[in-house]
Amino acid sequence: MTFQEQILQGIPNTLPTPKEFNSDINHAPKRKAILTNEEKKLALRNALRYFDSHHHKTLLPEFIDELETYGRIYMYRLRPDYKMYARPIEEYPAKTKQAAAIMLMIQNNLDYAVAQHPHELITYGGNGGVFSNWAQYLLTMKYLAEMTEEQTLVMYSGHPMGLFPSHKDAPRVVVTNGMMIPNYSKPDDWEKYNALGVTQYGQMTAGSYMYIGPQGIVHGTTITVLNGFRKIKKSPKGHLFVTSGLGGMSGAQPKAGNIAGCITVCAEVNPKITHVRLDQGWIDEKITDLDQLVSRIQQAKQQKETISIAYLGNVVDVWEKLDEENIKIDLGSDQTSLHNPWAGGYYPVDMSFEEANNLMAKNPKLFKEKVQETLRRHAKAINKHTSKGTYFFDYGNAFLLEASRAGAQVMAENPSHGREFKYPSYVQDIMGPMCFDYGFGPFRWVCASGKAEDLAKTDAIACQVLEHIKENSPQEIQQQMADNIQWIKGAQENKLVVGSQARILYADAEGRMKIAQAFNDAISRGEIGYVILGRDHHDVSGTDSPYRETSNIYDGSRYTADMAIHNVIGDSFRGATWVSIHNGGGVGWGEVINGGFGMVLDGSIDAERRLKSMLFWDVNNGISRRSWARNDEAMFAIKRAMKAEPNLKVTLPNLVDDKLLDSF
C-alpha cells in the first residue's frame, strides 16, 4: 500500500503482524504498576474497543503483556511501517490543506529525530504524549484525511471522538489533554488514568502538535542565558553555565550556550540521548570522568572558549566536584523533567541509569526516597556555590518545588507573596519583566512545503520586518528587538532545524502580525508555499503556571487559570486552525493550565483577516492580565496597544501608596 492508502484505511481490517521490540530506539521507562485487577480489566476493555470483536482474542494476550511489561497499552503491533516525518503538505491525502497541515505537524512530533520516545508516542518531557496508543494515531489521521471545512475533529486526550458538523471559520481541530476534575490531578492520578487509557499528559506542544524539536526552546534559552549574564553584569565569554538534561527540550541548553558565547556544562544520565545530541551537533564534547571535566573547564576558562560539554552522569556529582575543586560557576540552573520526578524525569545519584530504571518499576517507594535524597544533596551543593557568588535560577522545571517537598534548603528566609523560594524562577527575574510583560514570546512557524529554501526566505522576510519595526520602537523594547534580529540573522548558520523546516523567534503582537502578514503576502505572490503559524504554550497569554509563566504576577492571582481558558476560547472564534488546552506541561500535572494554537496561512484574504484578529488577541489578553496585576512593563505595553488599536479598551489598575498600608 502507498503512504496515502495506509492513511486512508485508518485501523486496518486485517491486523498487521506483531512488531519486534527495537532496543536501538530510546524507549519510555516502564510505568509503575498502579492498577487493581479490576482496573486492569477495564484498561483492557478500553483498549479493545478500538477493534472489531473478532480481533479481541488475538489482541487480548498481547495487550495483557504490554500492560504487565510496560505499565501501558501502546498497541505496538499497529505502529506504521512507513517513515515518520513531516512530509511536504502536498503528499498528505486530505480534502482541505488545513487538515493536511495538522497531519504534517503530528508526524513531525513523532519523527525519530524529534520525539524522545517515538514508539510510545511521547515527544518530550518523559511523558508528553501526542497519543496514548497507535490506534488513536491511525484513527486521527484517517479522520483528518476525510475532513472537510464544514467539520471539526474533537480530540479527548489523544482519543479522536470524531468529526462533527461545523463551519469554515471554526477550528478544524479542538484538542484537550488531561483536563481532570481538580481533586484528581495528582501524579498518581495521571499514572492511573493514563494506564486506563482515558487521559494523557500532552505536555505543552506535544499533545497540541506544535513541537518543532529542541529549536523550540533554544531561542528562549539563549535569551535567558544572555540576560542572566547581563543581570550579573558579566560577558558570557569565558564564563561558566552549569545545568542538566539533554532529552527533549532540555537538549537546547548546550546549543543556546554556544550561541550566547559561554562555557556550558550539561549533565545527562541517559547514554542514548547523549549520543543523539552529540551526533546532531547540539553538544561539542562528551566527558565521562569528573577529573577530566574539571581539567577541561579550567582550560576553557583560561582560553575563554565558547564550548558545550556534556557530562555523562549525574549533575549532583558535577556540582559537588566543582565545589571541591573551587571552580567558579557563574550561572546555574537545571532542566531535568522534575514535573515527572517519579517516572523518569529525574534520576538518583550514586546509581546507574539501568539500576535506577529497574528500581523505578520494581520499588517505586524506594525510588521516590532516593530521588528526594538526591534533591536534598543537589540543593545543598547549589547553596555552597551561591554562597560564593553563583547566580542560580529555577528554569521552570519544578526543581525548587520538588526540592522543597523533599525538605531541601531552598526556602527564602524572609518570604514575600510570590517569592517563597531562595532562588527565583527565570520568569520572575528574566523572562517575565524583560519579555512576557512587554508581549514578547515564542512565535514560531513551519514551512509546509518542507523546502529549506522556503525557510531561508521566511527568515529573510522576518528579519526585514523586525528591522523596520525597530526603527520606530520605543527605548523600552530596543534590546528585545536587537536580540531577535541577531537571532534570526544567525539562525541558518546555527543549524537549528531538527525535523520540520521550522523557525522560532520572540516577537510581540505587532511583530507577529506584521511577520505573518508578510508571509501571507509572499504566499499569495507564489514566492513560498503555505506556512503554519504557532507558538510554544510558554508565552505571554497561553499559560497559567504559578511557578513559571505567571510566577511574576504578585497580586495573588497566579494560581488562577482564567487567562489560559480565555486565550483558547478567544483564539477559537478569531480564526485559529486548531486550538488546544492542557492540564500539565513543564512543571507538572495539576500545576499548570496551558493553551496553544496552530494557524495555516494560504495567501488568501481570509487568512489575512484571521491572523490580524487572532494574533492581536493571543498576545494582548496576557498583557492586560499582567497589567491588572500592576506589572510596570505590562502597564506600559497595554497602554501602547490601546493607543495603536482604538477598539481595545482595557481596565487599568489604580496604584495604592504603600505608606497607606504600613500601619495595617
Q: Which residues make Cβ contacts (< 8 Å) with residue 66, sequence separation at least 6? A: 72, 73, 74, 75, 76
Asked if 637 contacts 616 with a C-beta cutoff of 8 angstroms, the reply is no
The HSE-up count of residue 203 (CA atoms within 13 Å, CB side) is 30
Grid cell, residue 39, equals 482496573
Smallest CA-to-CA distance from 268 within 286, 290, 280, 293 is with: 286
Asked if 143 contacts 132 with a C-beta cutoff of 8 angstroms, the reply is no
Q: Mutual orientation of helices 215-231 and 478-490 as an angle, nearest 10°?
A: 130
Smallest CA-to-CA distance from 129 within 73, 69, 61 is with: 73
3-state secondary structure of 492: coil
Asked if 390 contacts 330 with a C-beta cutoff of 8 angstroms, the reply is yes
Check whether 4 is labelled as a binding-site residue. Answer: no
**Other Cβ atoms closer than 10 A to 493:** 8
Check whether 281 is labelled as a binding-site residue. Answer: no
Rounded CA gap, 319 and 85, in Å?
Answer: 38
Q: Give, rounded to a whole angstrom, the gap between the first and last alpha carbons of the chain.
A: 76
Point out which residues pair with 505 in neighbouring strands. 443
Q: Which residues make Cβ contacts (< 8 Å) with residue 159, sequence separation at least 6? A: 132, 136
Per DSSP bridges, beta strands 441-447 and 531-535 are antiparallel
Smallest CA-to-CA distance from 114 within 102, 100, 128 is with: 128
Asked if 188 contacts 343 with a C-beta cutoff of 8 angstroms, the reply is no
584 secondary structure, DSSP code: -
Asked if 577 contacts 598 with a C-beta cutoff of 8 angstroms, the reply is yes
Asked if 227 contacts 262 with a C-beta cutoff of 8 angstroms, the reply is no
Q: Which amino acid is at 80?
A: P
3-state secondary structure of 502: strand
Check whether 85 is labelled as a binding-site residue. Answer: no
Q: Which residues make Cβ contacts (< 8 Å) with residue 404, sequence separation at least 6? A: 410, 411, 421
Check whether 6 is labelled as a binding-site residue. Answer: no
Asked if 597 contacts 576 with a C-beta cutoff of 8 angstroms, the reply is yes
In what helix (H) or strand (E) does residue 638 lie, and over which residues does it extend? helix 632-644
Point out which residues pair with 593 in neighbouring strands. 544, 583
* φ, ψ of residue 218 in degrees (nearest 5): -60, -45
**Other Cβ atoms closer than 10 A to 224:** 26
Rounded CA gap, 317 and 304, in Å?
Answer: 24
Check whether 125 is labelled as a binding-site residue. Answer: yes
Rounded CA gap, 327 and 99, in Å?
Answer: 53
Check whether 129 is labelled as a binding-site residue. Answer: no
Q: Annotated binding residues for NAD(+), as ranges?
A: 125-126, 203, 268, 395, 586
Q: Which residues are annotated as a binding site?
A: 125-126, 203, 268, 395, 586
